[in-house]
Structure 1
Amino acid sequence: MTAAVRELPFAAPLRAVDRVELREEADGPRLRASKLVTVDDPYMAGHFPGLTMLPAVFLLEGLRQAVAQAFGLVEPPELLQVRSARLLAPMLGGDDITFDVKVVPQPAGAAWALDARCARADGTPVARLKVLVGVPDAAEAISPPSKAPEPADGAPEIDHVRIRELLPVRHPMLLVDRVDAVDPGRSITTAKAVTGSEPCYQALPEGLSAAQYAYPRSLAFESFGQSAALLWLASAGAGVPDGVLMLAAIRGCRFAGGVQPGDTMRHVVRLEQLASGTAFLSGEIWAGTRCLAVVDSLIAVNRPQSAVGTAR
């Protein structure tokens, strides 16, 4: 059965899928969904102004929303793991993105392993995603590879004005407020304050639970990715050509715990390798002493804006 997506009863950056279909097939459930890329959606105008391009993290948000719709979940599902993700082509304004998703229900609770192939209407592949989505366990926790960053003290090392000069994103998609520490070629620590006035909370009805006000993990990961871009720029100096820094791949990303309005996320990103227009990074997302996510590997690439804007 195919159905238009109902109003979302939890915080989300945008309606990340327009229609969802769930079928029972010989090898198990299969989801099919679609999303039209349009500049009129919330957050989209701030993502590369002048170039309408769907952020890759909104594909992850789409899978979360498709699961919520298909299985009629009362409690909001979350991204639990991004086991692997490969981003193969940009998704530009007017593109109709389709999701073809093999679904494997997990034995322990309301969770589903998803193997998704995303493509444009003409069949051009844009992404291959292997993720775990489900209703999180309140006791979930992560053992991070390093300790929580020290609280920020004093003026930022890179302030918001300079961040705006460095990153080609704008409100509400600019998701780094300050850089507290940066060691070029090695690491960066940044901060993003979450407030109740974020666009993801605008259309929510009254009387929701704290879980439904959880800051979307897709946006938390986007904030981490922007922090990674700032580290790349600080590390490369004049070696970065004038282009678009784009997410190319993720491996081994694990989430635990939520962020509420009033919390401040802090990202610790480490540069593992930088070569030939490609950066390999890792790190964690924190709220105080709570580790919210561990990212084993994030790969970013530099692409000329002219090539991105005409890619079809």
Structure 2
Amino acid sequence: MIMDVNQIMKILPHRFPFLLVDRVIEHDPGKRIVALKNVTINEPFFPGHFPGHPVMPGVLIIEAMAQVGGILAYLATSDDPQNKVCYFGAIDEAKFRKPVVPGDQLRIEIDVIACKRGIWVFSGKVFVDGKLATEAKLKATLADKDTK
């Protein structure tokens, strides 16, 4: 384990119920990061998505990918992540291959495609039990928290 949830919360501003990263298990600075999200029936979205047939919303899987990409960007560029915020800029080529349900563990793999002029471009893949569940290309940027 590289980072536990307490270390993650020192980097990401997200908190319950929106923190979607439990652990970072691999990190190649500025190039790649792998993290885990354990999906439980206690997630606040399951009662409404869908009653009697709980499925994790695809937008939250993408958000988990974005948060992991944000961790990679913070670690690569910021001495003090508390003074930065990572803004999600774009989602391209998103594909949902299989539903994510309670009991699944997401293995979120983020690879850097490019970083130019402060814009990070990531390739993200989410696996469940070794099978591809979701993939997308994401863009994000870090900014000072006091910048509007």
What TM bracket, shorter-length normalisation?
0.7 to 0.9
Q: Which residue of 2 aligns with 1:32?
A: 34
Q: RMSD between aligned alpha carbons?
A: 2.7
Amino acid at match of 2:124: A
Secondary structure of 2:89's aligned partner:
strand
Amino acid at match of 2:28: R
Q: Which residue of 2 aligns with 1:59?
A: 61
Query: By how many angstroms is 1:132 displaced?
Result: 0.7
> Are residue 112 (structure 1) and residue 120 (structure 2) matched?
yes
* CA–CA separation in structure 2 for the residues paired with 1:44 and 1:14: 14
Query: By how many angstroms is 1:12 displaced?
Result: 7.2
Verify the 8 A CA contact 1:103 1:115 in the aligned structure 2.
yes
* CA–CA separation in structure 2 for the residues paired with 1:209 and 1:136: 8
* CA–CA separation in structure 2 for the residues paired with 1:81 and 1:10: 19
Q: Which residue of 1 aligns with 2:78?
A: none
* CA–CA separation in structure 2 for the residues paired with 1:36 and 1:48: 19
- Bigger RCO (CA 8 Å, 6+ sep): 2
TM-score (norm 1): 0.39
Question: Closer, same or farther in 2 for the Cα pair 1:97/1:124, shift >3 Å?
Answer: same
* CA–CA separation in structure 2 for the residues paired with 1:45 and 1:210: 37
Verify the 8 A CA contact 1:10 1:76 in the aligned structure 2.
no
> Are residue 22 (structure 1) and residue 46 (structure 2) matched?
no
* CA–CA separation in structure 1 for the residues paired with 2:143 and 2:53: 35
* CA–CA separation in structure 1 for the residues paired with 2:108 and 2:13: 22
Verify the 8 A CA contact 2:45 2:56 in the aligned structure 1.
no
* CA–CA separation in structure 2 for the residues paired with 1:128 and 1:31: 15
Q: Which residue of 1 aligns with 2:138?
A: 131
* CA–CA separation in structure 1 for the residues paired with 2:138 and 2:46: 24
* CA–CA separation in structure 2 for the residues paired with 1:62 and 1:46: 19
Verify the 8 A CA contact 1:116 1:128 in the aligned structure 2.
yes
Question: Closer, same or farther in 2 for the Cα pair 1:66/1:32, shift >3 Å?
Answer: same
Kindly report which structure 2 residues correspond to 1:154-303, keeping only aligned pairs within 5 A, or say none: none
Verify the 8 A CA contact 1:38 1:44 in the aligned structure 2.
no
Verify the 8 A CA contact 1:14 1:43 in the aligned structure 2.
no
TM-score (norm 2): 0.76
Q: Which residue of 2 aligns with 1:3?
A: 3
Query: By how many angstroms is 1:96 displaced?
Result: 0.7
Secondary structure of 1:40's aligned partner:
coil
Verify the 8 A CA contact 1:37 1:53 in the aligned structure 2.
no
Amino acid at match of 1:92: V
Query: By how many angstroms is 1:51 displaced?
Result: 2.1
**Which of the two has higher C-alpha Rg?**
1
Identity percentage over the alignment?
A: 27
Mark the runs of 5 or more structure 1 residues left unpaired by the alignment.
138-207, 212-312
